[in-house]
Structure 1
Amino acid sequence: MFKPLHAVLSALGLLALSACSPQATPDVTAAALPQETVTVTGTEKAFSDELSSQIVYGVVTNVTNRPYQVSVTPSNYMSGWCGGTLISSTWVLTAAHCVDGYSASQMRVRAGINDLTTSTGQLRTAAQIVMHPSYNRSTNANDIALIRVSAFTLGSTVQPAALPGNAAESVLDVSGKFATVSGWGKTETGSSSPRALREVSIPITPTGSDCGSRPANTICGKYYQGKDSCNGDSGGPLAASYNGKFYVLGAVSYGPAECRGYGVYTRVNGFINWIYNTTGISAQ
């Protein structure tokens, strides 16, 4: 059965794809984190090794290959929670369920990182969170949100992805095409050492019943060799290249507990007007 990625699958003892149940760890300082000082009262938390690793049946990649990839994490967590896509130096696209219930001051975004256990890259605290006004946590409809941050310094490891206009969408988001999903979510082994960025290419379709009944404006990640996104990948990018640009076609939304295909992604092209009205960023 499909579950939202942030739900706890208590009957199976598993977690859905977004925010894993944490295990408390001893106090650790946040002073080593880059770009800004983060003060946390009480105990920092990190994910269980069994529940917080990476993409299922994917490969280790490098942030220079996916410079639009960011990590979206509550301020009282030391490790990954969700992914996101940089769409400008100051705006990040993610899933609504990743930020649902959190204020802007509680969320952090890290860019330009390969390994979540390091203090490299750039860290920002969210200045604003805008969830889609029609997001429905029960049906996963309109599972999309935007996070505004102070500007990241752009370079080889930090670059925004383009938003797909109708021309790019008509070429990239069609049945039979492949797209790449990336993140720091659970793998097929459950291993989380090292906590490296990984990616996997999957066949997609905006139509058809492969992923069952699903909300409007979603993309189905069809079954292919058991490859999939999984716990911890929520909100992250489903992307493809076209005319020398990376386009973010979707954001990881939800999928089956076993993470072996049939994942559902919020279709970015279906929200272009809302994104423009919120951020001023146009489709390309």
Structure 2
Amino acid sequence: MGLIQLLFLTTLWLVAVKARLNSRQPSGYIPSRIVGGSDVPVGESVPYQVSMQYSTRGGYTHFCGGSIIAPDRILTAAHCCEGLNASRMSVVAGIRNLDERGGQRSQVVSYAIHPNYKELETSDIAVLTIQPPLVFNNVSVGLIAFNDKQFVGGGVPVSLTGWGLRLPVPFPFFDNVNYPNTLQRMSYHTISNDLCRASGMDSVTETEICARGPFRGACSGDSGGPLVRNDNGEIKQVGVVSYGLVVCGLFVSPDVYTRVSTFSDWLQERVDA
């Protein structure tokens, strides 16, 4: 590693001294996105992925991600919902680009936040109820498996999708690079919770799962989105994007996800309600 690169990384690390949520909240959070990802190829779909959007005077604005767990239920992060007006929230399914018109838009009727939720501590998970229900075609719109109770440890290959910043921080005058409309995908590996805590995420509990990779990771705007693994050909959701450090995508900085297996019974209750 060259001296200039080392100094740059050191500067970023010194800036990244506090945790940040990974959402682009309508109340004014700085928008940012997946670092180190690449465009989902043309003609390929991520059928369980949705964009959560907020109605403003200028139209709909993407601010979080989510995943489809039933025709009328969306899994996301609690901090993507808390304090927001459900009547101004909607989700869009079946799109690759945020400016596409061919997707399905449904209104958020209500949301349920886990009763144990504490910001940056635990249970950052929520379920949206939407209307009308989504129409599945098993190509561009479909379910993600969420009720596997297997505990995922370290060293497991996982992937993340979302509409996010490609860079660790948003650079001025480079909006076309910072904020692509195309769905991004990035792969890396989980790490053990012990290693996650030793890497600066002191408050991580067994209700969370961590992952990291060189110059890649989640960022604001990706919150609520699905972390998935391939289990013998079946795609299963293992995490929900929760939080990380201020500067995204540093190898020394793990991403923290809500561990879906911990909440599978609660999620099933919300689906059956």
TM-score by length of 2: 0.80
- State the partner residue of 2:190: 204
Residues 120 and 219 (structure 1 numbering): CA distance in 2 closer, same or farther, change over 3 Å? same
In structure 2, the residue matched to 1:221 is 211
How far apart, in 1, do the equivalents of 2:90 and 2:108 lie?
6
Paired residue secondary structure (1:158) = coil
Shift of 1:193: 5.7
- Structure 1 residue 140: Cα displacement: 3.4
Cα RMSD after superposing both structures = 2.3
SS at match of 2:61: coil
Q: Which structure 2 segments of 5+ residues have no match?
A: 1-16, 171-176
Measured in 1, the distance between the counterparts of 2:112 and 2:24 equals 19
Q: Tell me the CA shift for residue 53 of structure 1.
A: 5.5
Which runs of 5 or more residues in structure 1 are unaligned? 6-16, 24-46
2:64 is the counterpart of 1:72: no
Match of 1:95 in 2: 77
CA distance in 1, matches of 2:125, 2:64: 13
Partner of residue 159 from structure 2, selected from 170, 180, 186: 180
After TM superposition, list the pairs within 5 Å mapping 1:65-214 onto structure 2: 65-76=45-56, 78-137=60-119, 139-149=120-130, 150-155=132-137, 156-166=139-149, 169-170=150-151, 173-188=152-167, 190=170, 191-192=177-178, 194-211=180-197, 212-213=201-202, 214=204
Residue 130 to residue 193, structure 1, CA distance change in 2 (3 Å): closer
Using the TM superposition, give the Cα deviation of residue 101 of structure 1 relative to its aligned residue in structure 2, in angstroms. Answer: 0.6
Answer yes or no: is the 8 Å Cα contact 1:57–1:188 preserved in 2. Answer: yes
Letter in 2 for 1:160: L
What does the per-residue CA deviation read over 1:22-41, in whole Å, with 9 as the maximum and x for residues that have no partner?
Answer: 88xxxxxxxxxxxxxxxxxx
Residue identity in the other structure for 2:223: S
4+ residue segments displaced more than 6 Å: none
Contact map agreement 1:103 1:129 (CA 8 A) in 2: no
Match of 1:270 among 252, 262, 269: 262
Q: Is the 8 A contact 1:161 1:245 kept in 2?
A: no
Instruction: Measure how far apart 1:88 and its partner are.
Output: 1.5
Aligned pairs, number: 238
TM-score w.r.t. length of structure 1 = 0.77
Letter in 2 for 1:116: L
Which amino acid in 2 is paired with 1:141?
Answer: T
Query: Which structure features the higher share of helix residues?
Result: 2
In 2, the alpha carbon distance for the partners of 1:259 and 1:71 equals: 20
Q: What amino acid is aligned across from residue 70 of structure 1 in structure 2?
A: V
Structure 1 match to 2:19:
3
Correspondent of 2:243 among 254, 261, 268: 254
Percent of pairs identical after alignment? 31
Query: Separation in 2 of the partners of 1:252 and 1:85?
Result: 11
Q: CA deviation at 1:277?
A: 1.7
Query: Which residue does the alignment assign to 2:34?
Result: 55
- Give the distance between the partners of 1:108 and 1:119, measured in 2 at CA: 15
- 8 Å CA contact 2:32, 2:165 repeated in 1: yes
- Contact 2:45–2:94 under 8 Å retained in 1: no
Q: What's the offset of the Cα at 1:263? A: 0.7
Cα distance, 1:21 vs structure 2 = 6.4
SS of the residue corresponding to residue 133 of structure 1 reads coil
- For 2:18 and 2:187, the matched residues in 1 are separated by 21
Over 3 Å counting, the alpha-carbon distance change for 1:226 and 1:186 in structure 2 is: same
Task: Give the Cα–Cα distance (whole angstroms) in 2 for the partners of residues 53 and 256 of structure 1.
Answer: 12
